Amino acid sequence: MRLEVELEPESAESARIFAEWRALWGAAAIGGKIELAAADSLAALLDLKGRCYQQGLTVNAHFPDNL
C-alpha cells in the first residue's frame, strides 16, 4: 500500500522521526512515498501518530492509489 506522509512543521526533529518510522515500517519509494504492507498500515500510522503527538507535530497522510 503506497502512502505519502508529511509532518508539520518541517524541522530536523520531524525529519528524524519520519526517518526512524520509515526504517521500521516501510521502504522508500519513488517520489518520497513509502510502501506499507496492507496488514501493517493501521498499526504503522498509529505508531507515527504517537511519535508525532509527543513532539507536537501534525501528520498529513495521503493514499494516492485510493482516489
16, part of any domain? yes
Rounded to 5 degrees, what angle do the CA atoms 44, 9, 19 make?
A: 40
Per-residue model confidence as pLDDT tens digits over 4-57: 888 999 999 999 999 899 889 877 666 667 888 888 889 999 999 999 998 999
Instruction: Give bridge partners of residue 34 from the DSSP assignment.
Output: 3, 28
Query: CA 40, CA 58: separation in Å to the nearest integer?
Result: 21
Expressed as residue numbers, the domain containing 35 is: 2-62
How many domains does the structure of the chain reveal? Answer: 1
* Helix H or strand E segment including 45: helix 41-53
Indicate if the pLDDT at residue 67 is higher than 60.
Answer: no
Q: Are strands 2-8 and 58-62 parallel, antiparallel or unpaired?
A: antiparallel
| Residue 9 confidence (pLDDT) | 95
- On whether residue 67 sits in a domain, the answer given is no
Please tell me the distance from the alpha carbon of residue 22 to that of residue 44, in angstroms, as a whole number.
9
